[in-house]
């Protein structure tokens, strides 16, 4: 109810703003419209065109010069340009042939609680971008979320934020530095990053994905996958260490080798990669401290209550207070559920 009331209130304010701009235009003022793409998405295309109609008269030659900017170019944009602009209009495409370039992978989604977004985002970034080598953009809904996420220690890469409270000059500097590859993760609000043109992005993370897009659900990267990705990045970084620095550490390295070269090198790589602990995340709800277990069944289970009954017969009545997020396996040939790591040995 609260959300519907907010939408209704916004619609009233928007209509008042549109009507006010029309009256200003009639008094000789030029209308200024922002977030027109959002107005179109909410069904106010007719009202936007009504404002434009006031500014144009086909019988006059001194119609205002018009610059039409759009991050995307739906059919409405081209139709409006043809309707109100002269045939000699110029179209400037800042993307060019790169519009045909598509991502290697499609849209994938990971189910996790909002309290785990930072940890899950950090794990996904580490696995896909191989540590510090790639570039990632994370989109957030609010400025507060963007600021907090950019400062979260779960994201090990250098991170900066981009939102409405940051001055325009600083935004331009941040984008320039990001394009140059001087830091790896940009956390931005959707409105502040509208129309971004940054090539060679390895990963885009939507903290609150749009509902109109279909996602393929995938699992959270396992601890093994994250460690492997981080170690590959660390090995590449070793090549950049100057020989003069290596000479100062040879004596310490020789002492470590005496204890076992493979173990010493593995420990060094773990420390450099930031892998100080190995926390297994469950596959269902991504809650740290839980692990996913499977109950297999040779026949199709009729309902979820059947699975609970089988679990209680095998593990005791108190299992219902420990198992979380139970879901069917494919063809209902069993169920999966999360349990605290501490009770795994008891089970």
Residue 27 has pLDDT above 50, yes or no: no
Where does residue 272 rank: exposed (0-12), middle (13-18), buried (19+ CB within 10 A)? middle
What 3-state class would DSSP assign to 280? Answer: coil
The whole-number average pLDDT for the span 134-152 is 89
CA 138/CA 341 separation, integer angstroms: 31
List, for residues 149-180, the tens digit of each pLDDT value. Answer: 998 888 888 899 998 888 888 888 998 889 88
Predicted confidence band of residue 235 (pLDDT cuts 50, 70, 90): low
Confidence at residue 244, expressed as pLDDT on a 0 to 100 scale: 78
More confident residue, 14 or 87: 87
Position with higher pLDDT, 294 vs 23: 294
- Cα separation of 40 and 35, whole Å? 9
Walk across the sheet containing 136-140 and list its strands.
Answer: 159-162, 185-189, 136-140, 203-206
To the nearest 10 degrees (0 to 180), the angle between helices 261-273 and 243-259 is 130
Q: Does position 187 have pLDDT exceeding 90, yes or no?
A: yes
Q: What pLDDT shows up at residue 273?
A: 62
Indicate if the pLDDT at residue 8 is higher than 50.
Answer: no
**In contact, 207 and 163? CB cutoff 8 Å:** no
Sign of CA dihedral 193, 196, 202, 206: positive
pLDDT attached to residue 20: 53
**Model confidence over 251-298: pLDDT tens digits?**
777 877 887 877 777 777 776 666 666 666 676 776 777 888 888 888
Mean pLDDT, residues 94-114 taken together:
63
What is residue 286's predicted lDDT score, i.e. its pLDDT? Answer: 67
**Can you give the pLDDT at residue 33?**
61
- 321-347 pLDDT, tens per residue? 888 888 888 888 888 888 888 787 777
207/114 Cα distance (integer angstroms): 9
Q: What angle do CA 83, 85, 88 make, to 5 degrees?
A: 125
Q: Where are the alpha helices (DSSP H) in 151-205?
A: 168-179
């Amino acid at each position: 109810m609260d959300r519907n009331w907010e939408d209704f209130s916004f619609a009233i304010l928007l209509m008042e703003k549109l009507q006010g701009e029309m009256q200003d235009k009639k008094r000789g003022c030029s209308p200024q419209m922002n977030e027109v793409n959002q107005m179109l998405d909410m069904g106010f295309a007719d009202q936007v065109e009504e404002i434009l109609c006031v500014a144009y008269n086909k019988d006059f030659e001194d119609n205002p010069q018009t610059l039409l900017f759009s991050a995307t170019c739906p059919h409405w944009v081209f139709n409006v340009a043809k309707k109100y602009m002269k045939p000699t209009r110029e179209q400037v495409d800042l993307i060019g042939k790169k519009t045909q370039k598509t991502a290697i992978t499609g849209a994938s989604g990971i189910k996790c609680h909002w309290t785990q977004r930072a940890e899950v985002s950090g794990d996904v970034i580490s696995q896909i971008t191989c540590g510090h080598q790639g570039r990632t953009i994370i989109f957030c809904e609010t400025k507060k979320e963007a600021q907090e996420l950019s400062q979260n220690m779960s994201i090990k890469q250098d991170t900066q934020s981009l939102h409405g409270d940051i001055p325009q000059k600083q935004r331009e500097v941040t984008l320039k530095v990001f394009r140059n590859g001087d830091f790896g993760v940009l956390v931005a609000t959707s409105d502040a990053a509208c129309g971004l043109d940054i090539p060679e992005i390895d990963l885009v993370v939507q903290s609150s994905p749009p509902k109109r897009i279909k996602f393929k659900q995938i699992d959270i990267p396992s601890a093994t996958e994250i460690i492997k990705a981080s170690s590959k990045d660390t090995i590449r970084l070793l090549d950049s260490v100057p020989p003069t620095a290596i000479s100062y550490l040879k004596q310490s390295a020789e002492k470590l080798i005496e204890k076992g070269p493979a173990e010493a090198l593995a420990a060094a790589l773990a420390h450099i990669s930031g892998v100080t602990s190995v926390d297994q995340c469950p596959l269902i709800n991504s809650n740290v401290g839980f692990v996913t277990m499977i109950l297999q069944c040779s026949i199709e289970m009729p309902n979820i209550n059947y699975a609970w009954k089988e679990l209680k017969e095998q593990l005791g009545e108190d299992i219902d207070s420990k198992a979380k997020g139970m879901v069917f396996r494919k063809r209902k040939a069993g169920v999966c559920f999360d349990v605290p790591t501490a009770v795994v040995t008891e089970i």
